[in-house]
Structures are given as C-alpha cells and as structure tokens.
Amino acid sequence: MIVSPTLHTAAIAALERAVNGALALSPHSRRELAALAGRVIAIDCTAPPFSVYLLPTAEGDLGLRGVHEGPVDTRVRGSGSAFAELAGSADPAATLVNGELSLEGNSAPLTELSRIVADLDVDWEAPLVDTLGDVAGHQLAGALRGLFSFGRDAGRSLARQLDEFVHEEARLTPPRAELEDFYSEVQALGLAVDRLGARLERARARLARLGED
C-alpha cells in the first residue's frame, strides 16, 4: 500500500458510501448486482496509484475493500483514464479487449458490473418524497426523471450521429467493422508470415543436412 492505511481506508469508505447511496435509489441495479454476489474483482489503478477490491453482496450492495487476501475472480490493471473509459463505455467487452487495461482471470463479472454501473437508473422519488412531501416530491422527481432521461437520450443520439458522421460521411476514420476486418487480416497475415518463416527454417535445415551428406 503506497498511501497511509488510514487515508486509503478513508477514501475507500467514502467511495463505498457514495456508490451504495446511488445503488439504494436503483432497486433494479441492486437486483442485478446481487447476482454477482461472491465474486471478487480487483482494480489496480497505476496512475494515480490506488487499489480496491469490489465485492458485490447478496443484498445488492457493493462492498469495497483496500485489502483482500482470498481468491480473486478478475484482476484488472491500468491507468485512471483507462478505467474511466471502461466505466463510460457503451461496449465494455470491446473496451476491455481494445483498451489499455490488462486483465487477469474471468472478464465476465467485470463487464457485467460495468454494464450495471452504466445502466444505473436512479429513482429520485423516494428520498424526495421523504424530504419534501408527497406532492412536491413527486413533481420534482418527475421533472428530474424527464431531465435525466432527456439528457441520456440526447447523449446517445449525439454519440450515434457523431459516429455516423465520422465514419460514413466525413470518412475521417474507417467504421468499426472495417477496422476489425483489417485487424483480423493483419493477424492472419502475421500468422502466415510466421508459418512461412518456420517452413523456410525447416527447408534451410534440410538443405544444410543434405550438404553435409
């Protein structure tokens, strides 16, 4: 542990409280998270240096620990910006494969957790009704829901249109499918070159043996 145990523990306790505060307002996410109970995901952030273990519970909370000495299902290592990219990614599996994160173990719990976080749908109504009363709380919650829903839809729409413009209209970068085809062709070419190299080596060794005879 690089920082003092007290500071590290304080940061993790604060983070756990914030995450579970948000989860408490999203019963659907809690149910999904409960399905991951018993899994242990280790996050090793290299810059800034920070390690945390995520332990979803059967009650749908997310336990955060600074130290965990038992078995770990998934360990993912990388910089803070790479983790931020994963958390905001529409396709966590692709981000894991193509991004700058290194992964050990089973990736499924991590991609599932990332999806749950990305889909976190906070229900503001209960705390607002408790604080402001039935009528005002309900109206404000409705307004907030509309605002968040509009923001999310607008964000998705903008991302889709931007993607289309960049790939199809401006042709600034090739589309993802084309790029993936290119990557697989490069990989196939690499393998073919390796095989050819091996054959040449074998032929050279055979010629050398014939020369000796």
Partner 1 sequence: MKEKDTTHFGYREVDKDEKAGLVAGVFDSVASRYDLMNDLMSGGIHRLWKRFTIELSGVRPGHSVLDIAGGTGDLAAKFSRIVGETGQVILADINYAMLAVGRDKLLDHGLSQNLEFVQADAQCLPFPDDSFDCITIAFGLRNVTDKDLALRAMLRVLKPGGRLLVLEFSKPKNPLLSRAYDAYSFSVLPVMGRLVAGDSDSYRYLAESIRVHPDQETLKAMMEDAGFARVEYHDMTGGVVALHRGVKA
Binding site for partner 1 (CB under 8 A): 4-6, 9-10, 13, 65-70
Q: Which is nearer to partner 1, 13 or 18 (CB)?
A: 13
185: its two tokens: 């062709």
Helix (H, G, I), strand (E, B), or coil: what is residue 48? coil
Query: What minimum distance in Å lies between the beta carbon of 150 and partner 1?
Result: 40
Query: What minimum distance in Å lies between the beta carbon of 113 and partner 1?
Result: 20
Q: Which is nearer to partner 1, 10 or 191 (CB)?
A: 10
The helix (run of H) or strand (run of E) holding residue 80 is helix 80-87
Q: Which is nearer to partner 1, 34 or 122 (CB)?
A: 34
Query: What minimum distance in Å lies between the beta carbon of 54 and partner 1?
Result: 13
Q: Which is nearer to partner 1, 68 or 167 (CB)?
A: 68
Angstrom CA distances, 148 to 52, 76, 102, 145, stand at 29, 31, 33, 5
Residue 206: partners with Cβ closer than 8 Å, 6 or more residues away: none
Helix (H, G, I), strand (E, B), or coil: what is residue 56? strand
Instruction: Give yes or no for a contact between 62 and 69, defined as CB atoms under 8 angstroms apart.
Output: no
Q: Which is nearer to partner 1, 22 or 37 (CB)?
A: 37
Query: What minimum distance in Å lies between the beta carbon of 67 and partner 1?
Result: 4
Identity of residue 173: T
Query: What minimum distance in Å lies between the beta carbon of 104 and partner 1?
Result: 21
